[in-house]
Amino acid sequence: MSATVYLETFGCQMNVADSERADVRLRAAGFDLTSSPETADVVIFNTCSVRERAAHKVFTRIGEVRRRRIGSEPIVGVMGCVAQLEGASIFDGSPSVSVVAGTRATDRLPQLISRALDGERRVIDLDERAAGEAWDLPATARTSKYVAFVPIIEGCNKFCTYCIVPYSRGREKSREPSDIIAEIHELHRHGHHEIHLIGQNVNSYRPKTESGLERTKGATPFCRLLRAVAATGMERIKFTTSFPRDFHRDIVAAIDEHENLCEWIHLPAQSGSDRVLRAMRRGHTASDYLKRIDAVRSARRKLSITSDIIVGFPGETTADFRETLRLIEEVGGYDGLYIFKYSERPNTPAASLMDDVTLEEKSARFMELETTQRSFQRKIYERYVGREVRVLVEGTSSKFPSDMTGHSTCHKVVNFRGTELMLGKVVNVRISVAKRNSLYGEVISAP
């Protein structure tokens, strides 16, 4: 009888994609995947280290599983970013962990687990990917039957002072465009309606060759990739995350020219203070950022814009924070804003700075920024009332079983009365209510 494996994922879309890869490799090696940690022979946690809270959460979960499984303890493994960064120290901090697999060891996970099942107490692999390890996955192995994540670039060369990604994911490596396009064609053939091109910084995409992009136009390889992907016929194409310094007008031009390039841009600002941006080593000023926003606002199509902000970065003064508030006002508010309180990530350049903004002050700034954003966001959402949006039906509402839920092309959550017969369909919904973080409406046409 083969061993059963439970795999739980924390963090970003890249981690979801890595878990999908792990799932395929484990099944191919003869393991059975299960949806419950209560009976699994092996429990693997795919981890995120971008925020302190996310890194701590996995160890809390390990403790929970261990308490529930006293007398029938499983093999426990940690993979992903926390594994890559903390390495063998995980064994000392969490004695119940037997397997540590770094971010580039996903394809070797079956062998690592087998060694642990054979009795090896501390199994660790933090090495680079082996030659010939492919990035692509079968369309049938995706978490969703309707939406698929397609990694196009891994790692980061930017080295923002607060960010752990260059250390946990390594330097930027871009996939070959021909491989990406072939993967999207397969997803399209298998009925996926929407794909997300993903990476730490998608618009930093720089492949070794441009095979598959020869007949496309655009100032950057990423723009040419967008146009090539649009030509596959995939119904809805989104991408995240964009880095401001690498965000060029040709991206907006491509979106204007291709209806299947969805009208959503995620462009993290992180701060509105030039002094703080320099300390963060972001490589742009507030003025530079606003020029990118102006380019997005000048598009023929109405584009949704979301962003990230960090409050309480070391040395951030009240005046610096006011400049961030001013940036939000000059942007005109975002369709969505992810606000984070600065937390030190070990071994990053910012870790050597004095974390001199108190937790109380970080919380106060968080609340004030959130209140400002909410005011803008409410008005943005209210403008959708009476409008029709196209929604990909992805599931049943978690709050109301009689409602279905999905995302619009502008990446807003939309709920509406419906049935599971609509799953995987694209429907037209007329919006009747603007809620805090979602829209509600009525289906007016469906296939």
Given a cut of 90, whether residue 328 has pLDDT beyond it is yes
The enclosing domain of 222 has a CATH number of 3.80.30.20
Q: Cα(189)–Cα(187) distance, rounded to whole angstroms?
A: 5
Which amino acid is it at 78? Answer: V
Structure tokens at 360: 């109380």
Strand arrangement of the beta sheet that strand 147-151 belongs to = 147-151, 194-198, 236-240
Q: How far is CA 325 from the centre of its chain?
A: 25
Q: Cα(398)–Cα(165) distance, rounded to whole angstroms?
A: 32
**Mean pLDDT value across residues 380-409:** 95
* pLDDT at res. 447: 61
Q: Cα(113)–Cα(17) distance, rounded to whole angstroms?
A: 20
Question: Does some domain include residue 133?
Answer: no
235 and 198 fall within a common domain: yes
| Mean pLDDT for the chain overall | 93
363 and 396 fall within a common domain: no
* pLDDT at res. 211: 87
Which amino acid is it at 433? Answer: V
CA angle 42, 141, 38 (to 5 degrees): 25
Question: Does some domain include residue 132?
Answer: no
Q: Cα(30)–Cα(18) distance, rounded to whole angstroms?
A: 19
Q: Cα(424)–Cα(145) distance, rounded to whole angstroms?
A: 7
Total domains present in the chain: 3
107 and 184 fall within a common domain: no
Given a cut of 70, whether residue 316 has pLDDT beyond it is yes
120 and 224 fall within a common domain: no
210 and 298 fall within a common domain: yes
394 and 249 fall within a common domain: no
295 and 421 fall within a common domain: no
220 and 314 fall within a common domain: yes
373 and 392 fall within a common domain: no
Neighbours of 400 (CB within 10 A): 12
Q: Cα(258)–Cα(239) distance, rounded to whole angstroms?
A: 14
Domain boundary among 74, 97, 125: 125
Question: Does some domain include residue 441?
Answer: yes
Given a cut of 60, whether residue 179 has pLDDT beyond it is yes
Whole-structure pTM value: 0.91
189 and 50 fall within a common domain: no
Question: Does some domain include residue 134?
Answer: no
Question: Does some domain include residue 254?
Answer: yes
Range of the domain at 430: 388-445
55 and 34 fall within a common domain: yes
> pLDDT tens across 206-263, in order?
999 888 888 888 889 999 999 999 999 999 999 999 999 999 999 999 999 999 999 9
Contact 143, 176 (CB under 8 A): no
* pLDDT at res. 133: 75
Q: Cα(412)–Cα(328) distance, rounded to whole angstroms?
A: 20
**Please, what sign has the CA dihedral across residues 220, 222, 225, 229?**
negative
Instruction: Give the helix ranges, DSSP H, for 231-358.
Output: 249-257, 274-280, 286-297, 318-331
Question: Does some domain include residue 131?
Answer: no
Pairing status of strand 304-311 against strand 439-445: unpaired
For residue 336, give the nearest of 269, 261, 260, 244 by alpha carbon: 269
Strand arrangement of the beta sheet that strand 42-47 belongs to = 32-34, 4-9, 42-47, 75-80, 97-101, 123-125
**Mean pLDDT value across residues 170-196:** 95
What is the maximal distance between C-alpha atoms in the chain?
64
Which amino acid is it at 235? Answer: E
Listed in sequence order, the residues at least 6 apart from 257 whose beta carbon sits closer than 8 Å to its beta carbon are: 227
Question: Does some domain include residue 393?
Answer: yes
171 and 229 fall within a common domain: yes
Given a cut of 90, whether residue 113 has pLDDT beyond it is yes
Q: Cα(428)–Cα(447) distance, rounded to whole angstroms?
A: 9
* pLDDT at res. 318: 98
**Mean pLDDT value across residues 74-98:** 92
> pLDDT tens across 334-352, in order?
999 999 999 998 889 999 9
The enclosing domain of 69 has a CATH number of 3.40.50.12160
Question: Does some domain include residue 121?
Answer: yes
Instruction: Indicate the DSSP class of residue 5.
Output: E
Contact 110, 29 (CB under 8 A): yes
Helix, strand, coil tally for the chain in percent (to 5): 35, 25, 40
